[in-house]
Structure 1
Amino acid sequence: MFDFILISEKSISKKFQKLEINSFSEAMKFIKNLPYGRNSNRENFLLVLNEMKGTCSSKHALLKKLAIENQKAEVKLMLGIFRMNGKNTPKIKNTLNEFNLDYIPEAHNYLKIHNQIFDCTTSNSSELNFVNDLILEIEIQPSQVIDFKVEFHKNFLNDWIKSKSFSLEEIWIIREKCIADLSS
């Protein structure tokens, strides 16, 4: 597995080192085991470590910034759109059924290193949960998980709903209900 020792003297590396986490693989394992939850400020990725929780966006953006600090360009931050359905995300099955949807396109962040996907969203996250339902993926930078990700996702949904009987606002509300289902 890809790994490196945290040698940077910059803030994110120092924060991990204070937690006695000295390698990238240890950092990924630590982040993966933190609970899923939105942070109080989406723009401050260090809150993942301060609040001991994070989303796919904040957790993977933090890990990408850690890789940048340690000059490891092979660690890529990815934005994928996948078909989120009752099979790959069982907690949302009832919500999808309520609105008569087979799936809803969801934006997801993860890392890609030498073409291998790493999903550190939750302790049981795996690329197997979404890779077979992946519609598209692009590489992004950490700052893009804030506004760009939402706009990219909404633009994708706008095209997708043309064949559905929902407005973007209605689909976004259904999507938020699905995300709430994941936190319960």
Structure 2
Amino acid sequence: MEQNFQTFHEACTFIQNLPYRRNQDKSNLNCVIEDNGGTCSTKHAFLKDFADKNGIENVQLMLGIFKMKGSYNKKLIPVLEKYGLNEMPEAHNYLRINGEIKDFTTNKSSAEDFRNDLVKEIEINPDQITDFKVEYHRNFLKDYLSNNPEIPYTLEEFWTIREACIETLQS
């Protein structure tokens, strides 16, 4: 499946309307087209790459950590309650276009979903959505657990709970 977009806006609209799902090969930026869907990482990396290849300036690929709560998505409430948690720090990719946060993860996504719970943010390159993102996120969680000793989980247990949260969002 190949797409020929005439404008960046057209590409953003198309990508935003693709289903949310994990991709098998995140190192292939065209995986969102080939898999007919993607995650915040693959969708926004694809759009950043498209912008770069077409000379569109002021588009940044961001990696932010936000406090994912039940208010972010009601599907999370049972998972968080099961483990006695109020929140799960989650790594999220999005774009900053002319300094403004834009989230094209789904057709219902909005910066308002996470902006107020954003605790850290860095700019990354599209090739950093794989190993770098995971390592950055895990290091953040390790520090988070260290700073919140009342949370009774190891890093591996906490990561497993995070995976359960993400799985819930995909259903």
Q: TM-score range by the shorter chain?
A: over 0.9
Look up the match of 1:98.
82
- How far, CA to CA, are the matches of 1:33 and 1:132 in structure 2? 24
Partner residue of 1:5? none
| Structure-1 separation of matches of 2:61 and 2:3 | 19
1:116 matched to 2:100: yes
- Aligned equivalents of 2:166, 2:33: Cα separation in 1: 22
- Aligned match of 1:160 in 137, 144, 147? 144
Q: Counterpart of 2:120 in structure 1: which amino acid?
A: L
Match of 1:172 among 159, 162, 167: 159
Structure 1 unaligned regions, length at least 5: 1-14
Secondary structure, aligned partner of 1:37: coil
Structure 2 residues not aligned, in runs of 5+:
none
Q: Which amino acid aligns with 2:61?
A: L
- Please give the alpha-carbon distance, in whole angstroms, between the structure 1 residues aligned to 2:8 and 2:3: 10
Q: How many residues align?
A: 167
CA RMSD of aligned residues (A): 0.9
Is 173-182 or 63-72 further displaced after alignment? 63-72
Task: Tell me the distance in 1 between the aligned counterparts of 2:83 and 2:23.
Answer: 29
Partner of 2:121: 137
Query: What residue is the counterpart of 1:79 in the other structure?
Result: 63
TM-score by length of 2: 0.95
- Name the counterpart of 1:58: 42
Identity of aligned residues (%): 49
Whether the 8 Å contact between 1:16 and 1:22 is mirrored in structure 2 is no
1:72: how far off?
A: 2.1
How far the C-alpha of 1:51 sits from its partner, in A, is 1.3
> Paired residue for 1:7?
none
Following TM superposition, the consecutive aligned residue runs of length 4 or more in structure 1 with deviations greater than 2 angstroms are none
Contact 1:84–1:133 (Cα < 8 Å) also in 2 = yes
